[in-house]
Structure 1
Amino acid sequence: MVEDSAGTKDTASKFLEVPIAQSPSGSNDTICGSGWLSLSASGSGGELRWYDAPNNGALVDSGSTLTTPTLSNTTSYYVEEVENTPVQSVGPVDNNLFSGRYFDSNDNWGCLFDVSKPMILKSVKVFSDMNAQRTIELRQNGNVLQSKTLTIPNGQSRITLDFQISPGDQYLLKVTGSTVNLYRNDGGANYPYDISGFVSITGNNTTSGNADDYYYYFYDWNVKEVPCRSDRQEVKAVVTDEPSLSFTVSDASCQGGSTGAVDLSVANVSGTVDYQWSNGANTQDLSNLQAGNYSVTVQSGSSCTAIDSVNVASSGQAPNISPNVQDVSCEGSEDGAIDLTVTNTSGTSDYQWSTGDTTQDVNNLGPGIYSVTVDPGSACSATETTTVGQGGNRPDITPDVNDVSCNGDEDGSINLSVTDTVNPVIYQWAHGKTGNSITSLSPGIYAVTVQNGNLSRPGMGTGFWRHTRI
């Protein structure tokens, strides 16, 4: 506000353009269940700093990546880019500019300076004649703005201050306390010491006119502009719940039967959900299952995966059928039989044969394929198929007859040729003789039975031949 000689007041505003760094870009990371995550960000070449809040907050880490601690909930972090500025020097390099002494008379005096841009006073050089603790203060208009207490060793040293200072005039940097004992030049100072448009050390705060060129304590200031900071960018460490699986099982009604089912319920999923069962199915639920163990992998749209398994039991066992088969003894015969032994049943079972029979065992069978279904009265039944084999062919008998040469003689004979036989072949003549040839026969009728192998063995047969004249 400006007031002229006539008392008129007016207001003028001046705006400073302060460049702000472009916000970095960040990449979220996602994990299923609790664990650590790796977040990343990229900027335009400045330093990336990670915080736990969008404003102020604690500095968590710096750099292009942030590895979080173990998290069980989604957590936001905030990254900013800081365009670092160079460190510059201002003020006398050392205390050789004029004579002086280690000052210990009082703690009133120090260096005055002006600041044109936001500044960080990083450090200064001092010269001490004793190892002692001092308090360095930054003041303006008598007010203490910042202070730092530290031990300054004997001799030359550089002390770190890191005072962040806003633009302003008549700042005072001084030592406060009973112990000063730092070197002061008693002249020779050529004020101002400055960096154009940034900072200027303008003099000291002494009131004595002959001390205007004194220089107090603080040499070779290291200063830098306050870094330009971007707005903070939120980057999320996303923790999603693993899919939760639960099963409703319908057991198979019979061992070996395909009547079981699994109804799968899924929670904590989003987007498209994929199912992969151990039996190759990719549906949510299963049906027509035999008893057994089934595992499933469920992946939700968030890429979270859960694996679980379920057992389908059976409520009963099917009958166990063991057939004992007697083959047909000979071609054309129907003396085959099947004797069933049935276990895993209780009570009365029903039998249904392909022949129409309803008994457990069947007899008088010709060669062929026979099936039976055994129903024990429970939900379980079983079917068995078996084959009744055919015995051997009947022998083919061809007689060679030599008639009696003259009435009253006994010189007739019969010689048999037999095919379709399996040894041993047994010949049994009606009049008691054996063998395939008989001699010394009188006229008459002769009958023979040819047994093809041992009739107690399956696959054998009997042939019969009768001759009416000799």
Structure 2
Amino acid sequence: PMQNAYQSAFGTGSYKMFVTKINATGSALIFSTYLGGSGEEDIGTGIATDTAGAVYVTGCTGSSNFPVTPGAFQTAFGGGNIMNGIWQASDAFVTKFNSSGTLVYSTFLGGSGDENEYYDTFNGDVALAIHGWGKIAVNRAGEAHLVGHTQSPNFPLTAGAFQTTGTSGGTYNNYDFFFTVLNAAGSNLVYSTYVGGSTIAPGGNSAREYVGNIALIENTCAGATTVIGAGTSHSDGFPTTAGVFQPAKLNSYADQPVIFRFSLGAGTFLTASVTATPATCGNSDGSATVTASGGTPGYTYSWIPSGGSSSTATGLSAGNYTCIVTDGNGCSQAQIITINNSNGPTVTTATTPQTCVQGGTATANASGGTLPYTYQWCNGQTTSAASNLSAGTCTVTVTDAGGCSVTSTVTITSSVSTPSTAVTSTPAACGNNNGTSTVTASGGNGSYTYGWSTSPVQTTATATGLAGGTYTITVTDANGCTKTATVSITQTGGPTVTTSTTPQTCTAGGTATANPSGGTSPYTYQWCNGQTGSTASNLSAGSCTVTVIDAGGCSTTSTVVITSSGSIPTATVTSTPASCGNNNGTATANVSGGTSPYTYSWNPTGQTSSAATGLAAGVYTVTVTDAIGCSAIQTISVTSNSTLNATITSTQTGCTVNNGTATASVSGGTSPYTYLWNPSGQTASTATGLGAGNYSVTMTDANGCTQTQTAVITSVPGPAAAVSAASTNITIGNNTSLTATGGGTYSWSPAAGLSCATCANPVATPSQTTTYCVVVTDGNGCTDNACLTINIDIPCGDIFVPNAFSPNNDGENELECVLGSCIETLKFSIFDRWGEKVFETTDPKICWDGTYKGKLLNTAAFVYYLKGVLTSGEKINRKGNISLIR
């Protein structure tokens, strides 16, 4: 099968190769193509792929027009030996397709002899050509590596080849290996050499080598490729190397396996050297530098755990670090670096607590580092011991002679805590001696006493009756520890106030603002209208007072006068009524006063002119606004002319004759009135001769106002049919009496099995369970119907097969069934008159519906065969006729 084929036709000759690529699941072709020219044979012997999914093929070709590409290494057929006129000359070839089957390059590879073809003889004649000796492998660079065999003395080689002379001399049945590397474009040789012996084995007639396979081992980090070839050699002189497993041929008369290996493009491995600088004084000031060489330039660096990305890492603490160097080819080398440290001094401390009569002390005891040491305490002291320290934390920094330092923190406790105080106060207000001050004590040893610098001395936590000035409070706890604090009592006079106003307008009330000064802030405000902010708004024209009270309770009162500006427009509104219940009323606003021009807004219509039109009956409001924003609002009612009203009465129609009537009675509106009935088309107030249904009448008065009403005409009730039976369950072969009531005449269906189909009381003798329906007709020709089912019971031991059924979708006798209540097993078969089986079942619940192969059969006679076993063990074997009636 061909798919995306480069060459879709077989061509001429006996053998042509094909190249096929299948997807990863083996479920579909990616591409498939013939490959060859017009020669006798084009044989593929080796195939390989690269990392991009391209396909490389090698083998031998006898076609001088084998497909090659422009710029390929060898575009002309090299030739070869034609043996006894039978086998053709051959060259090796290399062809590359991309991953989708497009030809990338194709080239011959060979000299004047044969490549990749082997001939053997039978009774002195060439009788057999064996192919399959060329193999191929591809490296990451896309270079094709080939091994095969050649008779050509001029096979293409490269400078520096391992073996530059072939041993076959172009003679029949003498071959050498060749090993060739093509560049990625297929345009030139990277390397090519003979590999083979020159000695013909005793008793033999050839010195030949045949290839079995090729393998590549790539060392990307060293830039080298190892190629391993395997095959067989008939030559005693195959080249071997020292120290190999088997340096000489063991059997001169036989082909023996050989392995050869070439190493190409050996490079240098990535290496790295390290220099390090230690950290000092326990600080993070060490550094390390890694120098890379070898491999492929374009080095990158990754430091762990510091996270650096350059060749030098700085700011390092003492410890071990790893630097991973990666070259441009992705090869990596890890170096472990140890950063040492010259330690600074260490320090231990001792303390004594603070008391209420003296401060605490702290002593620093330094060791390590380089003597002498210097000291720096939190309170500026510079000896090894600090004194008079307050309770809390204090730091000391010890520095040795080398400049290395260490810092330690001490905590000074308090053996007897001193009380703490917090003082609050209120000022002396309005020029009076009414200031206060309160001290809150905490800490110490409870049970505090107080002494205020007042005359006389006040001894409670709160001092009262204070004039403006500075006071001292001394708090003493039970241990005699004291805490002194000062407080300033301010002396304030009462506030004064100035005011400003804005006038009342037609759109907003006036405003007034009080601006207090003096006294003690914050201030509170009380306006005449109850507002409490510094500014009162929405004030009416006239006078208004404001009282300002400061934080000391001092107050002052001021009166403001609010003026009014501008006149307000007035509006009157007239209207015309809406007629016939339509939206055709109007309302018009007439404005005076204010400042023109005016704008209008009608609610709820949203109209904006002085006259609102298209109005339904109802109440409407217009807001008129003048040029300075003053507005007037008026409301008007739009009335409606008398509405046309109607009532409809009707009489019933008979069930067989249209004799109903409908009458429209009109009130309101303006007479005279006209009428139009639909669908009858009558134009009087009363429509006659109506059948059952809905009728609408449109009434129009003298003003063109209309009203539409609907009359419903019903028909007189017909008969009520009922049906009963003496028994609704009978044994097959028996009968029962049916009784119908409710009408004058009766019609039964189905008529089969009835003694009379038009009697009120027929006798029913059904052969199977049957539903009987009766149509009852009264004297007016009105009808009704009712149905009743007579169930047939077939006693155990009896099986009944009806001899007729009518599958015509009328709901009666639709199925042909085997009837019986004690059937254990059965086989029920039905045949047409030509003997073809049209139905068969072994399930007594499955019946025939008159179809065969999904199609309904026409009226015809059929034969049935029935075999069965009853639950009693009795066997049944019957046959008979069945009529299918449409």
Per the normalisation by structure 1, the TM-score is 0.36
Q: Which has the higher contact order (CA 8 A, sep 6+)?
A: 1
